[in-house]
Chains A and B, each alone.
Chain A
Amino acid sequence: MHPAFSVIFLTTLIGVGQGLFLALFTGQSYAAVELVPSQDSTTFYGLGGLIALMFLVGGLIASFFHLGRPERAWRSAAMWRTSWLSREVIVLPVLMGLIFVYTVMHYFGLDTVLYTSKTGTTLQLSLIVGALGVLATFLLFICTGMIYAAIKFLQEWACALTPINYLLLGTASGFTLAAVFASSNAPELLGLYGNWAIIITAVAFVTRGGSLIRNSRIKAKSTLQTAIGIRHTKIQQKAMGMQGGSMNTRDFFHHKTAAFIKIIKWSFMILVFPIPIILLWAGMNAESTSVLLGAFIIQYVGLIAERWFFFAQANHPQNLYYQTT
């Protein structure tokens, strides 16, 4: 497939936003049961929620550049019964709304205690809103991943590893950003976020590596023989039916050399996984915001390369009809 930067930025940016929100909620729920010290509502949860929201808004804006007719985007919520894209279009604003409410409750101190146990543990309203937000976050990861995994003849995508990778890579980048944020606004939580970021990044390394191994062994179901229905081992295309190309020759192929693809693959495998893990570890030990920020930026750049590769690697069966591109 031709990697479209609008979709690359959409999926990577909302991944960071979703992951950061999961991290914030993790911090708050750990604090609620007194596993970690509780943080200031305004400067930590409020501000953190705002940052997560900004990433989601950024992703939403990027998505509009993918549409031919963005003014009709509202129509895309119609077919949620059958289309994962439609489901994503519904879940994304729902999640943004929940994070907005969560952020406002924290920032303006509108949170209330719903229940206090005998030991003094409190259940706050923001935790309920946050839990709904977490549910929406997971739904959104599933929707985003299933948009790709649901197309059965894109064999590189049609696999359970696709939504799992979206979930883990987004969460890893979000927790890395949470570590950066904690190092400046809540140093007590740096260990929590940093360690989780390292763990999730390491797990994502396994699942993304797994999908690379799986994809390198794929045997294409469709061949030129099944595409045109002629049984002969030697078939050569002489004319594609057009002179100056068409959408079929532009939108379904990356138009890059095999060497370039290989470089991108190895760059993302290094930029997304080992370097951020080392920098997270170093940044946590040195309590250095700039080192942690470096970890986040490098991981995000790596994720852009990862997403580019994700699209470029998928070989659409329609390319069989366009042998000379």
Chain B
Amino acid sequence: MTQLALVIDLNVCVGCHACVTSCKEWNTSGPAGFMTDENPYGKDPTGTFFNRVQTYEIGEFPKTETVHFPKSCLHCEDAPCVPVCPTGASYKRKEDGIVLVDYDKCIGCRYCTWACPYGAREIDEQQKVMKKCTLCVDRIYDESLPEAERKPACVLACPTSARLFGDVHDPESEVSVQIREEGGYQLMPEWGTNPSNHYLPRRKTRMHIHEDELQRADNPLKKEQRGPSAPVEGTTLDDSTSW
């Protein structure tokens, strides 16, 4: 079975919001209709977004570290938002595991937002239906696009390649290898939602210089305790001959 998902590398993300803007651009221009913006140039701009980048400071000054944390629908394998939907508008696709909302069936009752522990769903204040990340389902299967571009808009936009896209059920896929080898983890594992999106943790890049590398420990002269010999007094062979 296929389960498409994103893997987000927190070690690489620089918090530039390119994924946010490209997501909004692609999805507001798509066949599903615009994504509402209220007050876009006013005092308190607000609107519908599928993806947001948050910033956290870890630790206390001066020992701090900044983590940029992109957050969107995690396409849970056991998605709690799906069974609660009274109309069946919220559903999980069998063929690729993407959790979607049928905007024509949604009644905007907000029950699914209560049932999502991650706050991944937002109601569109003008269209009054629930919206969320679609993993760019209208893009990843579009055969009119070159194959390299059949990826979610956020993945293509990321300048540092912090976002990877693929099938997390295929053990040999790039995303599975990254999760396995770089310590990929899920958010709020305590609720058993089994999110498909994974995050790769911050990794410290440290230079390890051992003393051995500066001074050879296995120098044979040292091993035999035989240093260079002391200068000889009087005349030596070198003084009487010229080679």
Interface status of A67 (Cβ within 8 A of chain B): yes
A64 to B: closest C-beta gap in Å:
10
In chain B, positions 75-96 with a C-beta closer than 8 Å to chain A are 80, 82-89
**Do A239 and B55 touch across chains, with their CB atoms under 8 A apart?**
yes
Task: Choose one: B82, B119, B185; the contact of A318 (CB below 8 Å).
Answer: B119
Across the A-B interface, how many residue pairs have beta carbons closer than 8 Å? 175
B170 to A: closest C-beta gap in Å:
23
Interface status of A230 (Cβ within 8 A of chain B): yes
Closest to A147 in B: B111
Closest to A157 in B: B114
**Do A66 and B109 touch across chains, with their CB atoms under 8 A apart?**
yes
* Docked CA distance A59–B56 (Å): 43
Residues of A within 8 A of B89 (CB): 75
Interface status of A1 (Cβ within 8 A of chain B): yes
Report which residue of B44, B45, B118 has the largest number of chain A beta carbons within 10 angstroms of its beta carbon.
B118
Residues of B within 8 A of A82 (CB): 82-84
Q: Quick one: given A236-B56, A244-B39, are A229 and B71 in contact (CB under 8 Å)?
A: no
Q: Quick one: given A67-B109, A226-B187, are A245 and B55 in contact (CB under 8 Å)?
A: no
Residues of B within 8 A of A229 (CB): 185-187, 199, 201
Residues of A within 8 A of B46 (CB): 242-246
Closest to A2 in B: B110
| Listed A/B pairs (16) with beta-carbon separation below 8 Å | A68-B106, A72-B87, A72-B105, A76-B107, A82-B83, A85-B111, A222-B117, A228-B67, A232-B59, A240-B54, A241-B54, A241-B71, A242-B52, A243-B45, A316-B114, A318-B116
The 5 tightest CB contacts between A and B, nearest first, are A68-B108, A68-B128, A318-B119, A241-B52, A244-B44
Known contacts A85-B111, A247-B113, then 12 further A-B pairs from the complex at CB < 8 Å, ordered by chain A residue: A67-B107, A85-B84, A222-B190, A229-B187, A236-B57, A241-B71, A246-B52, A247-B123, A251-B113, A316-B114, A317-B118, A321-B118
